[in-house]
Copies of this chain bind each other. A is one copy, B any other.
């Protein structure tokens, strides 16, 4: 039995999309219980159309909905304790839910999640992990924008969290981890990345296999299971890939409507194009996952449709079912208990930060 709390008010379309999305995910995983948070007047009429979902869920009315364009500070000030977003996160804190899902605005969701759940012991900063479609399947990429900049220790934390997520989501025993860099040679890149690479190689962690550096084109190739980078670079890489996919889709549409022959070809190959569109659809592989907090929070694309929102909930289901949070804590504890002797040796600078 998995329990998931949902902010019904988030996203560009609100409960019109989130409620059918939750219902869809329930069909796929009938052993889920939902704690639903939303404005009663908007949600109850739609909920009434989904009796199976009503039976499997508790609806908790909220006073306000966080706006999609609210600044994080503003959202916190107005929405703390009484918005559907806050209450959905709080359900995780109180133990009423294993994981929280919202399609609300990312900055507000991260601010509230940090304020409500706090970061895990041994973790300085949370990260947002994206599930990245590749030629081989799917990889996990983090951080895609939780914070700007990361030192070597934070990059190692991201590596462990991403590897734990890969194990929980994809059942990969010892996921390969690569550091995003501008060349595969160890001498490349900035100081933080070089230092993190050295530490990861020396640590030889049981929960992950350190691959070395990877480059931007390795993301689509799926060279490693987990790609680690700081939030500025990760966010730009993610949006560059999304933009390139959209650009090529536009080229394709233009090319297929240019001549009569192309139009005839499109007519015959329409099934193939539909399949391709689905593969290229960012809503399909939906769900940025906040890692490093005392509770798992999943951010769905704001523009997702019911199907996309259901996919984000499915991700939450898999992670709760496979005990992602416990896995991360276990890996972190192991690493930090070994750290002073195994990793830093006699180096004083590291000991000061150590446990």
Identify the A interface with B (CB < 8 A).
133-135, 145, 148-149, 180-182, 189-190, 215-221, 229, 231-233, 235-248, 250-252, 255-256, 258-259, 261-262, 264-273, 275-276, 279-280
Q: Report the minimum CB–CB distance from A195 to chain B (whole Å).
A: 14
The answer to whether A148 and B268 have CB atoms under 8 Å apart is: no
Q: A216-B243, A258-B272, A259-B271 are in contact. List 20 more A-B contacts (CB 8 A).
A: A133-B247, A135-B250, A189-B232, A215-B236, A215-B239, A216-B237, A217-B240, A217-B243, A221-B243, A229-B236, A232-B233, A236-B236, A236-B237, A245-B248, A251-B276, A255-B269, A255-B275, A261-B269, A262-B269, A264-B268
The answer to whether A235 and B273 have CB atoms under 8 Å apart is: no
| Known A258-B272, A265-B265; contact A220-B247, beta-carbon cutoff 8 A | yes
Q: Report the minimum CB–CB distance from A233 to chain B (whole Å).
A: 6
Closest to A247 in B: B220
Q: Chain B contacts of A242 at CB under 8 A? A: 216-217
- The listed residue with most B CB atoms (<10 A of its CB), out of A180, A181, A217, A218, is A217
- Per the bound structure, the CA–CA distance linking A178 and B256 in Å amounts to 32
17 sampled A-B residue pairs with Cβ under 8 A:
A134-B247, A148-B190, A149-B190, A216-B238, A216-B242, A216-B243, A217-B243, A236-B236, A244-B244, A245-B248, A248-B280, A255-B273, A255-B276, A261-B272, A264-B268, A265-B266, A265-B268
- Per the bound structure, the CA–CA distance linking A239 and B145 in Å amounts to 19
- Per the bound structure, the CA–CA distance linking A148 and B190 in Å amounts to 7
| Known A182-B232, A215-B239, A216-B239; contact A280-B268, beta-carbon cutoff 8 A | no
Q: Chain B contacts of A148 at CB under 8 A? A: 182, 189-190
| Known A215-B236, A243-B218, A256-B272; contact A279-B251, beta-carbon cutoff 8 A | yes
The answer to whether A236 and B270 have CB atoms under 8 Å apart is: no
Q: Chain B contacts of A250 at CB under 8 A? A: 135
Closest to A265 in B: B269
| Known A269-B266, A269-B269, A272-B259; contact A241-B241, beta-carbon cutoff 8 A | yes
The answer to whether A220 and B233 have CB atoms under 8 Å apart is: no
One complex includes copies of this chain to the number of 2
Q: Chain B contacts of A245 at CB under 8 A? A: 244, 248
The answer to whether B264 and A280 have CB atoms under 8 Å apart is: no
Looking at the complex, which one of B182, B252, B258, B271 makes contact with A261 (CB distance below 8 Å)? B271
- Per the bound structure, the CA–CA distance linking A279 and B148 in Å amounts to 34
- Per the bound structure, the CA–CA distance linking A271 and B259 in Å amounts to 9
Q: Report the minimum CB–CB distance from A296 to chain B (whole Å).
A: 23
Looking at the complex, which one of B145, B252, B269 makes contact with A264 (CB distance below 8 Å)? B269
Q: Chain B contacts of A135 at CB under 8 A? A: 247, 250
- Per the bound structure, the CA–CA distance linking A145 and B182 in Å amounts to 7
- Per the bound structure, the CA–CA distance linking A232 and B190 in Å amounts to 8
The answer to whether B231 and A182 have CB atoms under 8 Å apart is: yes
Q: Chain B contacts of A217 at CB under 8 A? A: 239-240, 242-243, 246
Q: Chain B contacts of A237 at CB under 8 A? A: 216, 236-237, 240
The answer to whether B265 and A272 have CB atoms under 8 Å apart is: yes
The answer to whether B262 and A182 have CB atoms under 8 Å apart is: no
Closest to A268 in B: B265
- Per the bound structure, the CA–CA distance linking A259 and B275 in Å amounts to 12
Q: Chain B contacts of A256 at CB under 8 A? A: 269, 272
